[in-house]
Structure 1
Amino acid sequence: MTYGSETWSLTMGLISMLRVTQRAMERAMLEISLRDKIRNVKIRRRTRVTDITQRVAKLKWQLAGHIVRRRDGRWGPKVLEWQPRTGKRSVGRPPTRRTDDLRRVAGSRWIQAAQNRGIWTPYKRPMSIG
């Protein structure tokens, strides 16, 4: 379910869909119907499965750190710093980029922080998604 999730732009709609799908899968594993009216907390306690949003966020942090630490001349780090669209902007809110949640949690200097693997471990960072 998380294949390729490192590259997704995590929007609230996507997070909601992932959570709904995970809950449906957990209910299917336990053979529980929605009509049984069992709370999600109890189901999660029985399955002991990690929340999908935390897993996706961890994978995203790991990939971002890996890309930033590369020094072999590939275009990955350049893409992270790329500013799209010049000229006239479209109406409405700009689309969410892959690095927006990294910048929100780690600050504007997240690329310098990711250079140090010791402080960039994703499981030690607060997961503020959703």
Structure 2
Amino acid sequence: MGGNEGKGRKGACRLRIGSWNIGTLTGKSIELAKIQQKRGVNIACVQETRWVGSKARNVYWYKLWYSRVVKGKNEVGILVDRDLRESVVEVRRVHNRLMFIKLVIGECTLNVVSAYAPQAGLDEEVKRHFWESLDEVVRNIPPSERLFIGGDFNGHIGSVAGDYGEVHGGFVFGDRNRGGSSLLDFPKAFELVIANSSFPKREEHLVTF
């Protein structure tokens, strides 16, 4: 998710930012970093890291910050390339499903959030806690600053935008489920857009979670 171009936002942040659930690359942080560099990614939000040890490390071309609250469960992280690592002025690990960093790049202040929403079968209280935590993070970001939320939200937003035309770009397929409704309600409340739904892709790349 990304913020719309609003009044009061200073400076331009021309970066390539992505998000990836890396469950299949657990323990392969160098391989992950090399893939991101090959694709020209400046900042990557990652989910299901399951890494142990320190909460920050240098990995090949990147610096990695991650949240490790419960060993082997739902951790998230953020990779920042070496040219930007000194621009990071704040790192906050909210819990094992949510963290964010703040960067100051010239006149641009950018907040990058990595999130991993609870799966459909988990307790409703766990889901509520996740969305309330994300809500609090976003509400505390000043309107003058830029925002990107990268995550695995465990929901299908479906191919039909319906009442969500301002946040749903239309380049998706399938039917909306309950998790998808939560994923649409959140950006609508904060005037964000679901970036991955906003540009054409090959049919096999149309799934948005």
* Alignment TM-score > 0.5, same fold: no
| Larger relative contact order (CA 8 Å, sep ≥ 6) | 1
Q: TM-score, normalised by structure 1?
A: 0.31
Compare CA radii of gyration and give the structure with the larger one. Answer: 1
Q: TM-score, normalised by structure 2?
A: 0.22
When you count helix as a share of all residues, which structure comes out higher?
1
